[in-house]
């Protein structure tokens, strides 16, 4: 069986502007919403976890790759989504988490990481060695050659792991690999730059040539030609705390034209969160056939949770029999108490930081949803709202799009359905962008 993403590559090279979006989240509501939406269209769904999120030590979710796989499958079973249509991906697999350590230790951990992902059955592997490790900057050797060398080493480990996996599971798909040397950092920009520079055409050529040569040195020629299917580049899109850098296809034209020289490669675009539907569509038409989205989905979830909190307060503030969850207050209290996950992203006056903790596009609040106190408040709020029939006027007031969909009979008006539909507002943009249109893309 051909890997589903290889089918996308074939279509792209045939001039059909089709793509796939990648749900980069470990939140159960986000994953459930995405699975339910994909089920309605009988689509494949690509779900990815990042190295700092899920790794051999548990990451910030407490899950190892096999745990994350079972977590996703459990939700898939719940909604009736076929497991075989779930594509599991590992994002930024490399020294990301251990870049402050010495090279030997960081690479050892990276090898263990990628092996564990492949053995768990993840078939879309982003090998990311683009970051400095230990003393790289002082050595003067850091550049594409070293980045490619480390990537080849990790790919060799991945291929060996797949061989071991295949001994016990005959019908497993061979992983596809994504590489690159100009990789945006996970989670959005931490600096409010005036402009994001598009990857230069000559840089793309150098990256591909350098990676190809490094893979050849490790006996991975066939793997590079057949299973390296995408390159991560910077198309000029990014987001910060309150800024969005929109896609400008004119500025990316030279880069896009260069992609036509490579018959087996597409682009993977990171940080596409908050782009307009038209911009997302243009990205896919221009060869950015894998669109990564993560913070925008939990941003939508946070919007939904805040709306439900307002509904809860309006319904129960004067009801002495109901204990209100105070979800928003508890979330912010937890963020203030443990600032490690947002302090490097939110800057400015106390007033500005207080605003960003709640409303920033970077959505660092997502790191606090698993917190025991926040999780309790969230479920308390859901329980309170599900104890009554939520009045339509309140849904109209705080969730107007969902109000219309309730009236049309498209969704139910219980708290979970409203919440998941809020997430789907963003997913719809990606579904629009990745589906082929009647217009056939012309070769440049």
- Fold designation for 299-420: GI Alpha 1, domain 2-like (1.10.400)
The sign of the torsion formed by the CA atoms of 279, 280, 285, 287 equals positive
* Domain positions in the chain: 4-293, 299-420
259-288 in b/e form (b: 16+ CB < 10 A) is beeeeebbbbbbbbbbbeeebbbbbbbbbb
Q: What is the pLDDT of residues 273-332, one digit of tens each?
A: 999 999 999 999 999 999 999 999 999 999 999 999 999 999 999 999 999 999 999 999
Q: Taking a C-beta distance cutoff of 8 angstroms, is the pair 396, 405 a contact?
A: no
**What is the reported pLDDT for 438?**
52
Return the closest-CA partner of residue 131 out of 153, 147, 155: 147
Greater model confidence, 253 or 171: 253
Rounded Cα distance between 372 and 376, Å, is: 6
20 has which bridge partners?
A: 290
Is 82's pLDDT higher than 70? yes
CATH of 4-293, one of 3.40.50.300, 3.40.50.1970, 3.40.50.10860, 3.20.20.70: 3.20.20.70
Q: What is the pLDDT of residues 401-436, one digit of tens each?
A: 999 999 999 999 999 999 999 999 999 999 999 998
Q: What is the pLDDT of residues 2-21, one digit of tens each?
A: 999 999 999 999 999 999 99
Q: What is the pLDDT of residues 36-60, one digit of tens each?
A: 999 999 999 999 999 999 999 999 9
Q: What is the pLDDT of residues 148-185, one digit of tens each?
A: 999 999 999 999 999 999 998 888 999 999 999 988 76
Rounded Cα distance between 310 and 139, Å, is: 55
Q: Which residue has the tokens 């040569």?
A: 213
Task: Give the burial class of 147: count Cβ atoms within 10 A of its Cβ; 0-12 exposed, 13-18 middle, 19 or more buried.
Answer: buried
Rounded Cα distance between 444 and 441, Å, is: 9
Q: What is the pLDDT of residues 366-402, one digit of tens each?
A: 999 999 999 999 999 999 999 999 999 999 999 999 9
Q: Which residue has the tokens 């997430």?
A: 423
Return the closest-CA partner of residue 126 out of 59, 49, 66, 64: 49
Q: What would the mean pLDDT of 87-97 be, rounded to a whole number?
A: 97
Q: What is the pLDDT of residues 123-155, one digit of tens each?
A: 999 999 999 998 887 887 889 999 999 999 999
Q: Which residue has the tokens 């029999």?
A: 321
**What is the reported pLDDT for 443?**
47
**What is the reported pLDDT for 440?**
47
Q: Taking a C-beta distance cutoff of 8 angstroms, is the pair 183, 232 a contact?
A: yes
**What is the reported pLDDT for 190?**
52
């Amino acid at each position: 069986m051909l890997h589903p993403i290889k089918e996308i590559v074939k279509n792209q090279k045939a001039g059909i502007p089709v793509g796939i979006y990648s749900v980069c989240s470990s939140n159960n509501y986000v994953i459930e919403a995405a699975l339910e939406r994909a089920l309605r269209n009988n689509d494949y769904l690509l779900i990815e976890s990042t190295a700092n999120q899920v790794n051999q030590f548990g990451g910030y979710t407490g899950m190892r790759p096999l745990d994350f796989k079972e977590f996703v499958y459990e939700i898939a079973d719940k909604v009736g989504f076929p497991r075989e249509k779930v594509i599991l991906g590992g994002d930024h697999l490399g020294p990301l988490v251990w870049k402050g350590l010495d090279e030997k230790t960081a690479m050892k951990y990276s090898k263990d990481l990628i092996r564990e992902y492949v053995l768990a059955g993840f078939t879309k592997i982003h090998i990311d060695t683009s970051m400095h490790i230990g003393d790289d900057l002082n050595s003067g050797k850091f550049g594409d050659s070293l980045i490619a060398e480390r990537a080849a080493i990790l790919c060799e480990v991945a291929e060996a792991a797949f061989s071991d996996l295949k001994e016990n599971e005959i019908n497993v798909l061979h992983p596809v690999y994504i590489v690159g040397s100009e990789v945006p950092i996970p989670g959005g920009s931490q600096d409010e730059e005036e402009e994001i520079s598009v990857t230069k055409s000559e840089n793309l050529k150098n990256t591909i040539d350098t990676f190809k040569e490094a893979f050849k040195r490790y006996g991975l020629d066939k793997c590079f030609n057949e299973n390296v299917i995408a390159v991560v580049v910077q198309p000029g899109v990014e987001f910060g705390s309150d800024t969005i850098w929109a896609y400008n296809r004119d500025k990316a034209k030279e880069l896009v034209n260069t992609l036509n020289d490579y018959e087996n490669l597409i682009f993977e675009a990171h940080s596409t969160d908050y782009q307009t539907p038209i911009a997302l569509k243009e990205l896919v038409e221009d060869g950015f056939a894998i669109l990564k989205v993560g913070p925008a989905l939990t941003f939508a979830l946070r919007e939904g949770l805040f709306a439900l909190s307002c509904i809860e307060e309006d319904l129960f503030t004067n009801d002495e029999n109901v204990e209100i969850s105070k979800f928003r207050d508890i979330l912010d209290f937890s963020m203030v108490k443990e600032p490690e996950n947002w302090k490097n992203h939110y800057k400015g006056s106390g007033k500005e930081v207080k605003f960003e903790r709640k409303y920033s596009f970077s959505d660092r609040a997502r790191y606090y949803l698993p917190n025991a106190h926040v999780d309790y408040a969230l479920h308390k709020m859901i329980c309170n709202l599900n104890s009554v029939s939520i009045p339509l006027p309140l849904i109209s007031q705080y969730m107007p799009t969902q109000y219309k969909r309730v009236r049309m009979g498209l969704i139910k008006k219980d708290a979970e359905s409203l919440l998941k539909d809020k997430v789907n507002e963003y997913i719809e943009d990606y579904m629009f962008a990745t589906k082929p249109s009647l217009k056939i893309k012309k070769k440049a």
